[in-house]
């Protein structure tokens, strides 16, 4: 009886510092070049007007669900390899497909991050995008070599700071551009019609689902591993829930800020820099650093997830693969236009992730019935 009570207490152990660390890592993984630059916010939410804000709410509900599910699955199953989480939900054959597909997609997502670093360097600092992208790749490769525990510690501390600044910029932009609220729907519809801004899907709900879909393929293996290292199931779940909450609030406020200011953002690769610059010129300088930090905190776990699929940490093979794949991804990310990368890589793969969401929901229902 005493042993049973000890097990219960162990399963309920919650350290607030760890919860914040997990929440921060969750946020940091998702706030990459697409979010921090505002490009994915524009394509997935702001381009749909007020319906896009409903899409943010849908995203919050689904991200909280998948985040909690992935961490709990990792805690309870202690997977041998991070990508075993796909076989847990999908079975061996379909799980193997998701395992391989997610590796390919995550690697492409890493190339998007490098493209975002290059675009930021070009727009704000007026230097070659190659300089920005290559420097980012070097920092990412060095960090990945340190291993998962160090990664969670680093990005978990940076993530909340990025959200606070993003919320600040989004909120101030909303109030500064309230006069644009009445005309924003007409302006954004015209821009979409003329293909001056790209959209993520054919309707706002499908766009929201696709957004969650590609986020899931980023989160699955990484959160599964975090869950396996958590002190308790409850601790991990709280971290995922607060992470989804903080991220969704930032998305909502930034979406409204971009939407109300849409007439001023036409043609920009980095909308958030324009918003920050409108508030204060020095804030644009600060936010450019925030964007680069956001890209860094997402690039690191993305590259780690790919390398960890093929080799164990702390081995020579792991280090060599990190350097080789980091360099290849940087090359691809710097030869393609950033908004095109976001539109094609995220949207197409988001639909594949959406199928995984349906499978997870069906599995959850099945397991509850049994």
306: which 2 tokens? 């790919």
Q: Answer whether residue 276 shows pLDDT above 50.
A: yes
Q: Answer whether residue 4 shows pLDDT above 70.
A: no
The pTM (predicted TM-score) of the whole model is 0.83
The listed range with the strongest mean pLDDT (11-15, 202-206, 287-291, 321-325) is 321-325
Query: Given this model, what pLDDT does residue 199 score?
Result: 86
Q: Answer whether residue 285 shows pLDDT above 90.
A: no
Distance CA 214, CA 338 (A): 17
> Which residue is listed with tokens 């309707």?
203
346: which 2 tokens? 């995220």
Q: Where are the alpha helices (DSSP H) in the chain?
A: 2-11, 16-30, 33-37, 39-44, 50-77, 84-124, 129-146, 148-176, 184-193, 204-229, 233-260, 271-279, 281-310, 316-335, 338-341, 347-369
Fold of 17-369: Amino acid/polyamine transporter I (1.20.1740)
Q: Answer whether residue 224 shows pLDDT above 60.
A: yes
Query: Given this model, what pLDDT does residue 11 score?
Result: 58
Distance CA 112, CA 133 (A): 10
Distance CA 98, CA 352 (A): 9
Question: What tens digit of pLDDT does each residue of 82-140 get?
Answer: 889 999 999 999 999 999 998 888 898 899 889 888 988 888 888 999 999 999 999 99
Query: Given this model, what pLDDT does residue 10 score?
Result: 53
Question: What tens digit of pLDDT does each residue of 333-346 get?
Answer: 898 777 777 777 77
Compute the radius of gyration of the chain from its Cα atoms. 20
Mean per-residue pLDDT over the chain, rounded: 87
Question: What tens digit of pLDDT does each residue of 247-275 get?
Answer: 999 999 999 999 999 988 877 777 888 88
Nearest to 160 by CA among 349, 294, 67, 46: 294
Cβ–Cβ under 8 Å, residues 346 and 214: yes
Distance CA 318, CA 302 (A): 14
């Amino acid at each position: 009886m005493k042993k049973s009570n000890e097990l219960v207490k162990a399963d309920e152990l919650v350290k607030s510092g760890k919860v914040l660390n997990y929440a921060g890592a969750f946020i940091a993984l998702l706030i990459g070049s697409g979010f921090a630059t505002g490009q994915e916010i524009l394509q997935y939410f702001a381009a749909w007007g007020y319906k896009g804000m409903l899409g943010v709410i849908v995203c919050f509900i689904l991200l909280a669900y998948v985040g909690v599910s992935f961490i709990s699955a990792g805690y309870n199953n202690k997977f041998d390899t991070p990508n075993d989480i796909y076989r847990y939900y999908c079975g061996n054959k379909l799980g193997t497909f998701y395992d391989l597909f997610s590796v390919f997609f995550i690697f492409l997502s890493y190339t998007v991050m490098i493209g975002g670093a290059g675009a930021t360097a070009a727009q704000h600092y007026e230097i070659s995008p190659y300089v920005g992208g290559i420097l980012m790749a070097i920092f990412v490769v060095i960090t990945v070599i340190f291993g998962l525990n160090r990664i969670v510690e680093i990005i978990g501390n940076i993530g909340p700071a990025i959200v606070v600044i993003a919320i600040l910029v989004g909120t101030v932009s909303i109030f500064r551009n309230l006069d644009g609220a009445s005309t924003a729907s007409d302006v954004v519809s015209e821009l979409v019609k003329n293909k001056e801004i790209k959209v993520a899907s054919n309707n706002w709900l499908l766009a929201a689902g696709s957004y969650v879909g590609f986020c899931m393929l980023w989160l699955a293996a990484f959160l599964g591993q975090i869950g396996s290292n958590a002190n308790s199931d409850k601790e991990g779940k709280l971290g995922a829930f607060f992470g989804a909450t903080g991220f969704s609030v930032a998305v909502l406020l930034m979406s409204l800020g971009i939407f109300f200011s849409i007439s001023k953002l036409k043609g920009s690769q980095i909308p958030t820099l324009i918003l920050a610059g409108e508030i204060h010129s020095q804030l644009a300088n600060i936010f450019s650093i925030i964007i680069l930090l956001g890209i860094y905190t997402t690039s690191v776990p993305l590259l780690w997830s790919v390398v960890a699929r093929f080799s164990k940490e702390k081995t020579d093979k792991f280090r060599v693969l990190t350097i080789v794949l980091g360099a290849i991804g940087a090359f691809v990310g710097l030869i393609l236009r950033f908004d095109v990368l976001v539109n094609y890589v995220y949207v197409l793969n988001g639909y594949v992730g959406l199928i995984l969401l349906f499978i997870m929901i069906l599995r959850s229902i099945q397991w509850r019935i049994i």
